[in-house]
Chain A
Amino acid sequence: MNELATKFNVPQAPSRMKGSPPDRWSQIGWAAALGVALLLPVLLTTRYQMTLASNLGMYVLLAVGLNFIYGYAGQMAFCHAAFWGIGAYASAIFATKFAMNFWVGMAAAAVVTLLVALALGAATLRLKFYYFGLATMGAGEIIHTVIVNWENVTGGVGGITRIPPPTLFGHALSGEKEFYYFWLAFALIGIFVAHRIEKSRFGRSLIAIREGESSAEAMGVPAFSRKLLALCLSAIYASVAGSIFASQTAFISPESFTTHTTITFVLMVIVGGRGSLPGITVGAIVLSLLPELLRGLKQYYMLLYGIAIVVLIIVWPNGLGGALSKLSKQVRSIAKGGAQP
């Protein structure tokens, strides 16, 4: 059967047997990445580098979260920074005004963000493509305006100050190194959960919706409720990232949570390759470091950042993830000894 399939080039269902080649390659990749990530604080020499690294996990978490609605389900959601902001503001308010424990506040903030996402999704997810994109962009702008103007709750443009740090078994986190590992833990859980969802029936139904909503519905996928669930997952990831962000920086203000920020997150997913977890992880890390790497070019750096994005999209239309899987296919075929034509 297998021989026949290879002979006639029939695509086969992925083998679930342990240690089949594709699994092994990606396992080696993830293990290597995890090793580097765990050792990174030892390898970094200056405090500046450590400060940069301490936030990487946040961007990975945000990009992996956005990937649910944008990457798997293929819906252009342009309000990720607003979800991030709601999570940050809600937990900051719970912590400063109600002296709530960090973890309880984080969960409560996630519930608030989830409710907003449910309402927004229920109203807009029947719209397609640009229309959903524009509606969510409008929602993001409205949320931002509310944060700026609802002064007695959000502190207006001044923001909220003196947000307490997260506590872990009675120990209050402090310093870049501790936050680095804290973010790393969350990013790993986030990637693992996303990976399990990607391989699940629900994840496959999202990808089916992305590839063709009408055909997915014809196959019995309830597209609307699946998309709603994907949007909620994105919102929860963003909210958790927001809660930790608020308590790490101890200060938040509305200017962090604009459409401009959303676009940065969207670019991470696009440059990483929609739907590819390894690509998006790399994309989030590269794009959050790129402005810092180019900073030596002074006022030209953001100009080059914009140009770099255009060039990346032209060169790798499927993102880093597409380029990675192409590369790993070549490596695999060389490893097998088959000459690549």
Chain B
Amino acid sequence: MLELALRGLITGGVYALLAVSLILIWNASGVVNFAQGEWLMFGAFIGAWLVSKLHINVVLALLLTALLVGALGYLLEVTTYHPLRGQPHKSQVIATIGVSVALENLAMVIWGVYPISMPPLFGKEPIHFLGATLLPQEIGISVVTILLLGVLGLVMTRTMFGKQVRAVSNDEQAAQLLGLPVNRILRLTFAASGVIAGIAGFLVAPLYFATTTMGASLLLKTFAAVVVGGFGSIPGALVGGFSLGLIEIFATNYISSAYKDAYAFIILMAVLIVRPGGIFGERVGDKV
């Protein structure tokens, strides 16, 4: 029971990270970025490649991965979002779908069609904790998730950059009138979102194999997490991500494992129909 709960929280942590990175961009630009899952996939591939092929120290590899995927985020703003500013959101969203197709196949060009695995981090010796058996890497993953979310929370609430990002999300024109460098803030937000997605990918790599299609399927479930929490709310994305992980693990264990991939979407539809604002939703008026 406890072991299941912990596993659920670890899976949920990945959804939560991806959900938060998705919401960062959504808040700043109003775009649901379909390439987000591919950033995670790049994080997993770069991480697995650095650690298992180049034998780079894990911490250094994590930082490098974050940096490289952050660069992908920056590039998305420059090459795709920026030229389409002022266009309807639908066009921008479809353009990010194009980017996601391109990135998925770029990964195939770079790393080939076969999945790459990352060796277990921090050894294989299981740790027993209150009757639950966990691998050291699973604990490592949860620690990194919590640290990253804590840092993000501090950055968003306590620093000038966080304030600027929130200002741009709130009202881009007003922020521009107040002399904020909106373009630069948008670019940095996309980059920050890439960093988070990249780290999430790095953390997933030892759990699953890194495959070129992993991004799309994780992103679809992350949509469910985001809707459950309430679109646009960062605490909501966290709660949605963790609860989705828990529900998925428990439902797989107690109901049926064949429909593992459907639970997220059943919850997604149920929440949208019953309570479209989600748990922490604010702007229900836009939705119904």
Q: Could you list which residues of chain A lie within 8 angstroms of chain B, going by C-beta atoms? A: 76, 123-124, 126-131, 134-135, 137-139, 141-142, 145-146, 149, 259-260, 263, 266-267, 270, 299-300, 302-310, 313-314, 317
B102–A76 contact, CB under 8 A? Answer: no
Q: Which of chain B's residues has its CB closest to A156's CB? A: B258
Known: A131-B276, A263-B97. A145 touches B259 (CB 8 A): yes
Q: Could you list which residues of chain B lie within 8 angstroms of chain A, going by C-beta atoms? A: 32, 79-80, 83-84, 87, 89-91, 94-95, 97-106, 108-109, 216, 220, 223-224, 227, 231, 258-259, 261-262, 264-266, 268-269, 272-273, 276, 286-288
B220–A137 contact, CB under 8 A? Answer: yes
Given contacts A127-B276, A260-B216, A306-B100, 5 further A-B contacts (CB under 8 A): A124-B269, A138-B223, A267-B94, A302-B108, A314-B95
A139–B259 contact, CB under 8 A? Answer: no
A310–B95 contact, CB under 8 A? Answer: yes
- Chain B hits for A131, CB < 8 A: 227, 231, 272, 276, 287
Known: A270-B94, A313-B94. A307 touches B261 (CB 8 A): no
- Chain A hits for B264, CB < 8 A: 138
Q: Which of chain B's residues has its CB closest to A300's CB? A: B109
Determine the distance from Cα of A146 to Cα of B258 in the docked complex, in whole angstroms: 9
Determine the distance from Cα of A107 to Cα of B120 in the docked complex, in whole angstroms: 54
A145–B262 contact, CB under 8 A? Answer: yes
B91–A128 contact, CB under 8 A? Answer: no
B98–A309 contact, CB under 8 A? Answer: yes
Known: A126-B288, A131-B287, A134-B227. A313 touches B95 (CB 8 A): yes
Q: Which of chain B's residues has its CB closest to A306's CB? A: B102
Shortest beta-carbon distance from B225 to chain A in Å: 11
- Chain B hits for A137, CB < 8 A: 220, 223, 265
Determine the distance from Cα of A260 to Cα of B109 in the docked complex, in whole angstroms: 19
Between A and B, how many residue pairs show CB distances below 8 Å? Answer: 126
Contact among A260, A299, A306 with B99 in the assembled complex (CB-CB below 8 Å): A306
Shortest beta-carbon distance from B24 to chain A in Å: 16
Shortest beta-carbon distance from A123 to chain B in Å: 5
Contact among A126, A138, A317 with B265 in the assembled complex (CB-CB below 8 Å): A138
Known: A135-B269, A137-B223. A303 touches B102 (CB 8 A): yes
Shortest beta-carbon distance from B60 to chain A in Å: 29
Shortest beta-carbon distance from A281 to chain B in Å: 19
- Chain A hits for B262, CB < 8 A: 141-142, 145-146
A266–B268 contact, CB under 8 A? Answer: no
A310–B99 contact, CB under 8 A? Answer: yes
Known: A138-B268, A310-B95. A123 touches B101 (CB 8 A): no
Q: Which of chain B's residues has its CB closest to A264's CB? A: B101
Determine the distance from Cα of A145 to Cα of B91 in the docked complex, in whole angstroms: 29
Most buried by A among B97, B101, B227, B268: B101
Determine the distance from Cα of A91 to Cα of B76 in the docked complex, in whole angstroms: 43
A306–B101 contact, CB under 8 A? Answer: yes
A306–B103 contact, CB under 8 A? Answer: yes
Known: A138-B268, A146-B262. A128 touches B100 (CB 8 A): no
- Chain B hits for A138, CB < 8 A: 220, 223-224, 264-266, 268-269, 272
Q: Which of chain A's residues has its CB closest to B76's CB? A: A310
**Interchain Cβ contacts under 8 Å between A and B, 14 examples:** A127-B272, A129-B89, A129-B286, A134-B227, A138-B264, A145-B265, A267-B94, A300-B105, A300-B109, A302-B108, A303-B105, A303-B109, A313-B98, A314-B83
Determine the distance from Cα of A307 to Cα of B79 in the docked complex, in whole angstroms: 10
A306–B105 contact, CB under 8 A? Answer: yes
- Chain A hits for B32, CB < 8 A: 130
Determine the distance from Cα of A307 to Cα of B83 in the docked complex, in whole angstroms: 14
- Chain B hits for A270, CB < 8 A: 90-91, 94
Shortest beta-carbon distance from A259 to chain B in Å: 7
Known: A123-B273, A135-B272. A305 touches B101 (CB 8 A): yes
Determine the distance from Cα of A116 to Cα of B105 in the docked complex, in whole angstroms: 34
- Chain B hits for A267, CB < 8 A: 94, 97-98
Determine the distance from Cα of A94 to Cα of B79 in the docked complex, in whole angstroms: 49
Determine the distance from Cα of A263 to Cα of B266 in the docked complex, in whole angstroms: 21
Contact among A141, A306, A313 with B261 in the assembled complex (CB-CB below 8 Å): A141
Shortest beta-carbon distance from A273 to chain B in Å: 11
- Chain B hits for A260, CB < 8 A: 216
A303–B223 contact, CB under 8 A? Answer: no
Shortest beta-carbon distance from B178 to chain A in Å: 28
Closest 9 CB pairs of A and B: A306-B102, A309-B98, A306-B101, A138-B265, A302-B105, A145-B262, A310-B98, A138-B268, A303-B105
Determine the distance from Cα of A127 to Cα of B87 in the docked complex, in whole angstroms: 22
